[in-house]
Amino acid sequence: MQHLPIVCAGEYDDDKPLAVFAVVADAERYATLYNLERGYGLEDGDRARVEHLPAYPAGDPGMSGHEITIRGAHWSCTCGRADWGGSEQDSREQAARHIAHWIPAAEQVALPA
């Protein structure tokens, strides 16, 4: 998995994505020009900004975006999912259930100790 820069306009997470870029510098330049063109300053809610989206190569329907970390009763995944299991055992079971939806059992590696 890699992350590609995108430019979004607006203040909120679900605001409109405008474009996807291969290189962060281009995305930042695009956002700057977009804001300049419209006269948007730092305080404008509609201004464009750079965010990052996971990007997967052909043949990878999101599988490579899941790496689990377990810290006691808490687990987290590189996809952003995280939860509190109550105990380390329950935390491991929750993490295993999460990853089972993404990665075929035959390809799963053991959860980290």
Stretch binding Zn ion (CB under 5 A), from 3-11, 25-33, 44-52, 63-71? 63-71
When the beta carbons of 9 and 99 are compared against Zn ion, the nearer one is 99
When the beta carbons of 19 and 79 are compared against Zn ion, the nearer one is 79
**Is 47 a residue that touches Zn ion (CB under 5 A)?**
no
Cβ–Cβ under 8 Å, residues 37 and 48: no
When the beta carbons of 4 and 63 are compared against Zn ion, the nearer one is 63
**Is 92 a residue that touches Zn ion (CB under 5 A)?**
no
- How far is Cα 105 from Cα 93, in angstroms, rounded to an integer? 14
